[in-house]
Structure formats: C-alpha cells, structure tokens
Amino acid sequence: MDRLEADRMFVSVIEAGSFARGAERLGVSPGQASKLIGKLEQDLGVRLLHRTTRALHPTDAGRAYYDGLRDLLVEFDALDAAVRNASQTAAGRVRASVPLSFGVSALTPVLLRFARAYPEILLDVSYTDRQVNLVEEGYDVAVRIGRIGDSPSLIGRRLSETRLLRCAAPHYLADHPRPEVPDDLRDHRCILDTNMADPFRWKFRDPRTGEGLECPVTGRLRFANAEACLRAAEAGEGVASVPAFLAMESVRGGRVTPLLETWEPEALPIFALYPQGRHLARKVRVLLDFLVAEFRVPAWQ
C-alpha cells in the first residue's frame, strides 16, 4: 500500500464527508477510496471511520489521526512545492473564479496580458456571481468585490477598489429634474440590479457628516446583471446604480451622466482570495502578483 496515497484519501474523505466526493476530489473511484482506507485501518490496527448507509463519521481515533495528519500533509506539500518551484518556471493549470461583469469587462484584458507573459500556464477561468467554495470545488483563486468576512480557510490580497456610480442618459435628464439629494430618487424611475443584497434600497454617504444612509427606490426594470442595467440607463429608461469599472466608457463617451457624486457610498474593495493552509504554488503566486500590479492604478479611477 502507498501510505501517502492512503493518508491523502483519508483526509479527502473526512473533509468531503463521503467516499464518493472524497474520491472525486482525488480523481479515483469510490471503490478505490474505500479500499485504501480499509488498508490504512488494517495497517494502523484501529477503526478510523464509522460507516452507515447514510453518512460516515470519524471515530475518536480517526479524528485524532486526521487532526495531526492534515498539518503534516500541508507541511509535506509546502516542502515538495518549494523544492520544485525553486528550479521550475511558472507552469501548469490555474483555476480561477471571477464575477461575471467585472470578469468580462475589466479582468479579461488583464488575464490575456498575463497569458502572453506566462505561456506555460493554462488558465481555466469560470465567470459567475456565485460565491464558490474554493477548497471543495478545486479553485486556486477567486476574485470577489465587496467586504469579505473573516474566514479561517481563506487568505485575501487586496487588488483595488471600485466606486458605485448612479447615472442616467442625458436625454433622460432632459425630461426629468436632475436629483440633487438621494431622496429625489423617489420621483425617478430606477433600474434595479437584483444581484445586489437589497436592490430596493440604495446606499449613500452624507457628505456633511460622513454617515451612511439608505434611500428606498423603485422601478419596473429589474435585471440580475449590472451591464444590463447600464444598457437600460443608456437607452434613457431611468437611473441605474453600477460599478465604475463598468460605467467608465459610457461616462467618457457621454452616453450616461454621473449623478449624486458627492453622496457616493464608500468604495467597494476588490480582493483575490486563495485557500489558507496550502503552499502557494509558483503558478498561483505569479498570477496574484500580476493582478496586484495591474490594478494598482485601475483604468476606472
């Protein structure tokens, strides 16, 4: 029996919660996973797992073995990767998850420059507004916009930040009074992004006190996509609330006009996240460093 292979399988099964998912993570069959752990239990002389038809749970011995083994495997992988990376160029597959609108409009051109700079790296990028589980779904990096909570399993590197703009087309403003304070939005058709935490309450910051405030808004156009909201604003359908990285070209081209700029809420941070407790492979490190450098002074500023 390959003891290291069996140990890795045991950790994978514990973390995934089943033989099937644990085996899938390591690219083997559930039968092979069960066989490896059975041999591991035989080798150690103790039962590591309680198995039922519905679930499996570690025994006391299994939990203690897992707690010690997990850290040993992390250290082993770190040592292995450090030796390999010392003599290797950045190469291999990097899986990344990025938000849809930001990914397409702002991140893709940067990733293309990265791909040209590192031709031996295979980029596998998923565009989704769903917050993926990096560890369980096998991602190396995820880019997220907004505050991130404390997570013992993730490390974040700040890339940049983006303002949130309220905007409308000039021909819409020709027929409607320009809002001077957030409360004026009650008299306007607002285009609602249903991806927002609360699309019916827009956040602002009082320029006199610095305090945050919320304003109720309504409108008959509701899209689960910021770019669709911007296109509706360009068409004169009302006032939209969109990130600056998306609106910058429309503002420069005169297709929309920024509104209530002195009332803008705090800028939203943009982070690149990667799993905690895992040695950062060279291929991932060079991508993170590249993103930090590219977004130090973002185009939308």
pLDDT tens for each residue of 222-270: 999 999 999 999 999 999 999 999 999 999 999 999 999 999 998 889 9
Q: 131-140, 172-181, 197-206: lowest mean pLDDT where?
A: 131-140
pLDDT value of position 300: 72
pLDDT by residue (tens digit) across 43-97?
888 898 887 766 788 888 888 888 888 878 777 776 666 665 554 578 889 999 9
Is 175 in the same domain as 211? yes
| ∠ Cα 249 250 252 (to 5°) | 65
Q: 35-44, 82-91, 134-143: lowest mean pLDDT where?
A: 82-91
Is 172 in the same domain as 206? yes
- Quick one: how many helices (H) and strands (E) in the chain? 11, 14
pLDDT value of position 28: 81
Per the prediction, the chain carries an average pLDDT of 88
Is 254 in the same domain as 274? no
Is 171 in the same domain as 150? no
d(CA 55, CA 194): 37
d(CA 87, CA 74): 21
Query: What confidence tier does 151 reach under pLDDT thresholds 50, 70, 90?
Result: low
Is 276 in the same domain as 131? yes
Residue 15 lies in a domain: yes
pLDDT above 70 as % of the chain: 92
pLDDT value of position 68: 87
pLDDT value of position 84: 58
Place of tokens 């800028």: 267
Is 122 in the same domain as 171? no
For residue 224, give its domain range. Answer: 164-259
Is 129 in the same domain as 198? no
* Cβ pair 286, 193 in contact under 8 A: no
Higher pLDDT, 119 or 152: 119
- Secondary structure of residue 119 in the 3-state scheme: coil
pLDDT value of position 140: 92
DSSP line for 183-220: GGGGGS-EEEETTSS-TTEEEEE-TTT--EEEEE---S
Mean local confidence (pLDDT), 29-51: 87
d(CA 72, CA 270): 33
* Cβ pair 227, 250 in contact under 8 A: no
Give the total number of structural domains in the chain.
Answer: 3
Is 138 in the same domain as 273? yes
Is 179 in the same domain as 210? yes
HSE-CB of 296 using CA atoms within 13 angstroms: 6
- Domain boundary among the residues 86, 108, 138 is at 86
Is 77 in the same domain as 217? no
CATH of the domain at 58: 1.10.10.10
pLDDT value of position 78: 66
HSE-CB of 97 using CA atoms within 13 angstroms: 18
Residue 300 lies in a domain: no
Is 174 in the same domain as 255? yes
d(CA 280, CA 173): 51
Nearest to 246 by CA among 101, 99, 124: 101
pTM (2 d.p.): 0.66
Say whether pLDDT at 273 is over 80: yes
Higher pLDDT, 153 or 268: 268
Say whether pLDDT at 159 is over 80: yes
Q: Are strands 268-275 and 154-162 parallel, antiparallel or unpaired?
A: antiparallel
Is 219 in the same domain as 276? no
Mean local confidence (pLDDT), 265-292: 86
CA 290 to chain centre: 17
pLDDT value of position 183: 95
Query: What confidence tier does 33 reach under pLDDT thresholds 50, 70, 90?
Result: confident
pLDDT above 90 as % of the chain: 51
Residue 301 lies in a domain: no
Whole-angstrom CA distances from 196 to 35, 107, 275 are 47, 20, 26
pLDDT value of position 29: 85
Please report, to the nearest 10 degrees, the dihedral formed by the alpha carbons of residues 36, 37, 38, 43 taken in order: 90
Say whether pLDDT at 143 is over 60: yes
- Domain boundary among the residues 67, 86, 105 is at 86
Strand 268-275: give its sheet, edge to edge: 121-127, 92-98, 141-145, 268-275, 154-162
DSSP line for 10-27: HHHHHHHTSHHHHHHHHT
